[in-house]
Structure 1
């Protein structure tokens, strides 16, 4: 039996491709931005109200884990999270929950308020070895002791923290390590100088939120981040719109030759992607909280080339690695060009995505386990494919909508709460398959 898309992610989707998408759609709030803010709310030591919280699986799991940090958390039906310090509620981490989300590592600073943080290795999508060595280096810079074993890791604090400034240099701008450094400085109430910090919207949003709470956090012109502890007071923070969902919807509009308006997201958070789409020949209009794309009949832009995630993270003007999968699906539709993709941050992502795209008829050459190239346009044909991780599922939705015939997509269980429903609202022929 086939039913229309609902608000819950279905196990199996039936997608009939070949039709241009059009219309207006709003994005949900950002999971990647929400997780650091939730962890910060458990670390700052005062009540926080967090609005526009996304109803994703990862977010719900992290909220449930907050009790172990000594934080009372209530998430209401309006997607508002209220957190209050309650040290008497502090307990052991639910290891089953913690292994279900990679974001569990954000809770280490809040857990260290008791002197010890013990967690299983983070879960989430299987994207290869995305180690925590940089996180551990951050904690060791604060004098913490790190122990690891096959099942997880334990971090313990020294009894007294000296008041001296902590200086840390990251070898590349890791988002997770940057968040860890900021939150650990809050707990220690020590000044910090962080060289090579991440400057993505997820981190700059955290910086702005903490500044509103009384801490002095700032990016300096030389690219460093400074932290000075300040007075704490109750605060209201807001989770921004999901730039990755917005980018995926724009790629779907482009891949199907459609036109549409995506709102509920700050276009500045999409600048690298929008610049790239413009360079490819897609007309883009940016509004205060929306982006419009109108696919032309014929493209005259440049090829996608060397989308390297390590390089992209080194500058705020470059591309987030999570945009790469839907861009790869889009590239299969672009005429007469060689497109090169590289993702060294998520070494297992190509191993997940490339075989699934090949089931649709894609011809993709892998030059290494993290790099590949393809030439478009290619004729894709519907097949049965599997969403082995969040971004692979999003890319397969884009590719299936550009393919001829019918695609069956299974495994779309995590990630954006209703990406298939949003595509359906833009005219995509998508239904659930019982």
Structure 2
């Protein structure tokens, strides 16, 4: 049970390198089921969710070897099980990515209802209906989803909304289906494009990735192995960009693609931050911030995974900003904790009204989910005094070496094991929230 102790305020300074994308690595790991040859992955983030996916693949019979902190070797020479139970899926929602690849490889799949962050209803009906259109018999039971199809058939699938996991699941199912599959209103996120890039490297025939219409020509045999470098994490990059602007810092965010976060760059510039783009980096310098409204939307709109961080940023901006959440109804779990920091935020329906600027003060808070946790870290970096954040395991699911990277930018951040002996103060932190 670790916690983070953060003392502020601290303007972040320096250069931070962005890790591989969690949201890209998980589906390409699932894609190892589509071949009986070796899939080698590079630039994989060293985070908890990757270990969770590795455990599920091992359960299915995949030989999974970690070659280094950022490289893995996966070999699904055979698949010994088609069922993933709740003891494994409760750790993260990404477990559902196994559905499409499993049914494509074996004709059977049974996936317990997934866990992960509680940010609202994230229904999988579009995944299931897409498989039904491809000829699968799909059943929703009390505790799991089961699908059966001796051989999937190509179909046209029109998604109601561009669901990321649904698009990825259906692409993986379609690469081994008979005939051509067309996915309309497909998700366009960078990690969807990265999955397609990996699958094409494995021999799949896919066109249109990155657009609203993806066309997959199925194959009769398994794909072959390949070596694939996972794309960098634009959500991690955006988190450090928001932190730099909020703290009035000067940070070069390296090893990323500015085009992946164009919508954030535009908002930061509108808010008064100086953003300079390079080929594979951006430099963000804080200034006198002003409020700017934002509404989340599927890519290339403003990412819901950066909405909590943006709320924290707006507490330091002059004026009133309205941050609206169009995708998930429970994505303001960071607000109660930000109020404990002294923020002035009210929630009305799916919008948060943020008034600023506010001189935040340190607090004791519990991280409720990955991205809310990132918002609380930004608040702690802006706050006067020493903050303690519990529930750090949520952050460890999505951010590689967060405390180390922040220290590299000059932040006063320490990770403490509550039941350890390394820090006597860690044994009793009740009431210790500031200097």
Same topology, TM > 0.5: yes
1:410 positional shift: 0.9
The corresponding residue for 1:270 is: 261
Q: Determine if contact 1:42/1:69 at 8 Å carries over to the other structure.
A: no
Runs of 4+ aligned structure 1 residues displaced above 6 Å come to: none
Indicate yes or no: 2:174 matched with 1:185. Answer: yes
The corresponding residue for 1:5 is: none
The corresponding residue for 1:401 is: 381
The corresponding residue for 2:405 is: 422
Unaligned ranges ≥5, structure 2: 417-425, 427-435
Distance 2:36 2:184 in 1: 26
Report the count of equivalent residues.
411
Q: Determine if contact 1:284/1:291 at 8 Å carries over to the other structure.
A: yes
Greater RCO, 1 or 2 (C-alpha within 8 Å, sep 6+): 1
Unaligned ranges ≥5, structure 1: 1-9
The corresponding residue for 2:328 is: 346
The corresponding residue for 2:433 is: none
1:118 positional shift: 1.2
Indicate yes or no: 2:330 matched with 1:330. Answer: no
Per-residue Cα deviation, 1:105-132 (whole angstroms, up to 9, x for no partner): 0001232233321121111112222121
Distance 1:383 1:86 in 2: 51
The corresponding residue for 1:305 is: 293
1:275 positional shift: 1.9
Distance 2:210 2:256 in 1: 26
Distance 2:161 2:97 in 1: 18
- 1:29 is paired with a residue whose SS is coil
- 1:357 is paired with a residue whose SS is helix
Distance 1:363 1:110 in 2: 46
Indicate yes or no: 2:355 matched with 1:366. Answer: no
Q: Determine if contact 2:193/2:210 at 8 Å carries over to the other structure.
A: no
1:31 positional shift: 0.7
1:45 positional shift: 4.4
Greater CA drift, 251-260 or 123-132:
123-132
1:19 positional shift: 2.3
The corresponding residue for 1:152 is: 144
Call closer, same or farther: CA 1:332–1:244 in 2, change over 3 Å.
same
1:377 positional shift: 0.9
1:71 positional shift: 2.7
- What pairs up with 1:192-341 in 2 under 5 angstroms? 192-219=181-208, 223-229=212-218, 232-296=223-287, 298-299=288-289, 303-308=291-296, 312-313=297-298, 315-316=299-300, 318-336=301-319, 338-341=320-323
- What pairs up with 1:162-177 in 2 under 5 angstroms? 162=153, 165-177=154-166
Call closer, same or farther: CA 1:280–1:156 in 2, change over 3 Å.
same
Aligned counterpart for 1:127 among listed residues 101, 106, 119: 119
Q: Determine if contact 1:65/1:94 at 8 Å carries over to the other structure.
A: no
Greater CA drift, 184-193 or 323-332:
184-193
Call closer, same or farther: CA 1:44–1:273 in 2, change over 3 Å.
farther
Greater CA drift, 383-392 or 411-420:
411-420
